[in-house]
C-alpha cells in the first residue's frame, strides 16, 4: 500500500511541475519571439535498500520548441523578424552574449539599440549605437542604414550591422530571463545566411489550443492521483478496523 501512496504522491508533485511549465507557455502566448518549453513524464526506480518495486514519477524538461512562429507585419522601422533559422545576438545582464528572436527593437539611453526587454543588441564591435537620424532602415542582412538629420537621401550611411547567428539549437539552453545561451559562456560566430524581414515581428510559437488541452489533461491527472491517495487511506482505515475486530 505504501508503494501505491508513494507513486501517487510523486506523480501529483511532478504534475504540479508540469502544470507550471504549461502555464508559463500559456502566459507567453503573446510574447514576441517566445519559444515554448517542452516536458515529458518518465518513471525512475528509487535507489537504496529494500524492494526494487518503488518508482518515482519524474517530469523532465527536454528542451525548447524552436519551430517558426507566425510573422505579423507592423510597418515599424525598428521591428525585425528572422525568416527561417537564426537568432539576434544580445548582451545579457551579466555581460555575456545571449540569443533571442524577439525583434521589437528600440533606441535606449545614449542611442543604444535594445530589445523590448532592455537587452542591448550586439553588432560588429559590441552594442549597436544609433546616432541622431532622420530615417533608419534595417536590411535583410542586419545592416543599419541611416539618413542624418537635415540631409538628403544621397547622404545615407551604414552605422553598423546587427550580429545574426545560427548556432546548433541542440546546444542552446534557455535561461530564467528567457534568453538562449551556449554552454560554458560560448559565443556563436556571425552567420551571413540568416535573414531579417524589416517592419515585421515573429509571434510566439505556443499553440494555444494544444496548451489549453494540456492544462485540462494535467488537472485531471492531478485529481486522479489525489484520489488514489485518498483511496489508499480509506483502504488502510478499513484494514485497521478489520484487524481490530479480529
In this prediction, residue 200 carries a pLDDT of 96
Phi-psi sector, 125: left (phi>0), alpha (psi -120 to 50), beta: alpha
CA neighbor of 79 nearest in space, from 37, 109, 121: 121
Residues in the chain: 246
- The pLDDT score that the predictor gives to residue 220 is 92
Are residue 130 and residue 230 in the same domain, yes or no?
no
Kindly state whether residues 164 and 78 are assigned to the same domain: yes
Residues 90 and 181 in one domain: yes
> Residue 189 CB: number of other CB atoms within 10 A?
8
Whether residue 185 sits in one domain with residue 227: no
**pLDDT tens-place string over residues 77-128:** 999 999 889 999 999 999 999 999 999 999 988 889 999 999 999 998 899 9
142 contacts 196 by C-beta, under 8 angstroms = yes
User: Higher confidence at residue 21 or residue 52?
Assistant: 21
Same domain, 197 and 77: yes
Structurally, how many domains does the chain consist of?
2
Do 95 and 61 fall within a single domain?
no
Same domain for 45 and 17:
yes
Q: Are residues 143 and 226 in the same domain?
A: no
By C-alpha distance, which of 168, 169, 166, 147 is closest to 158? 147
Residue 114 pLDDT: 95
Same domain, 141 and 116: yes
Query: Does 52 have pLDDT greater than 70?
Result: no
Output the pLDDT for position 129.
92
- Domain, as residue range, for 16: 2-65+206-245
pTM, rounded to two decimals:
0.80
Residues 58 and 171 both lie in one domain = no
Question: Please, which residues have CB within 8 angstroms of residue 164's CB and are 6 or more apart in sequence?
Answer: 82, 86, 87, 88, 89, 141, 142, 190, 191, 192, 194, 195, 196
Q: Do 78 and 120 reside in the same domain of the chain?
A: yes
Q: Each residue of 170-208: pLDDT tens digit?
A: 999 999 888 999 999 899 999 999 999 999 999 999 999
Which band of pLDDT confidence, cut at 50, 70 and 90, is reported for residue 142? very high
Residues 6+ apart with CB under 8 A from 9: 225, 229
Amino acid at each position: 500500500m505504501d508503494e501505491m501512496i508513494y507513486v501517487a504522491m510523486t506523480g501529483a508533485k511532478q504534475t504540479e511541475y508540469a502544470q507550471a511549465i504549461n502555464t508559463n507557455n500559456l502566459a507567453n502566448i503573446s510574447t514576441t519571439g517566445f519559444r515554448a518549453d517542452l516536458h515529458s513524464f518518465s518513471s525512475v526506480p528509487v535507489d537504496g535498500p529494500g524492494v526494487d518495486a518503488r518508482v518515482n514519477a519524474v517530469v523532465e524538461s527536454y528542451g525548447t520548441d524552436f519551430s517558426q512562429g507566425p510573422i505579423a507585419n507592423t510597418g515599424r522601422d525598428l521591428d525585425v523578424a528572422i525568416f527561417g533559422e537564426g537568432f539576434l545576438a544580445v548582451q545579457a545582464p551579466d555581460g555575456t552574449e545571449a540569443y533571442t528572436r524577439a525583434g521589437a527593437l528600440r533606441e535606449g539611453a545614449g542611442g543604444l539599440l535594445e530589445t523590448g526587454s532592455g537587452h542591448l543588441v550586439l553588432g560588429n564591435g559590441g552594442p549597436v549605437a544609433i546616432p541622431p537620424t532622420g530615417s533608419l532602415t534595417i536590411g535583410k542582412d542586419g545592416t543599419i542604414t541611416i539618413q542624418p538629420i537635415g540631409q538628403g537621401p544621397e547622404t545615407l550611411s551604414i552605422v553598423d550591422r546587427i550580429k545574426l547567428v545560427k548556432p546548433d539549437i541542440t546546444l542552446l539552453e534557455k535561461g530564467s530571463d528567457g534568453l538562449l545561451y551556449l554552454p560554458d559562456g560560448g559565443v556563436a560566430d556571425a552567420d551571413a545566411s540568416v535573414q531579417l524581414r524589416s517592419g515585421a515581428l515573429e509571434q510566439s510559437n505556443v499553440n494555444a489550443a494544444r496548451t489549453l488541452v494540456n492544462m485540462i489533461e494535467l488537472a485531471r491527472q492531478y485529481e486522479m492521483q489525489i484520489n488514489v491517495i485518498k483511496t489508499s487511506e480509506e483502504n488502510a482505515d478499513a484494514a485497521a478496523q478489520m484487524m481490530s475486530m479480529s
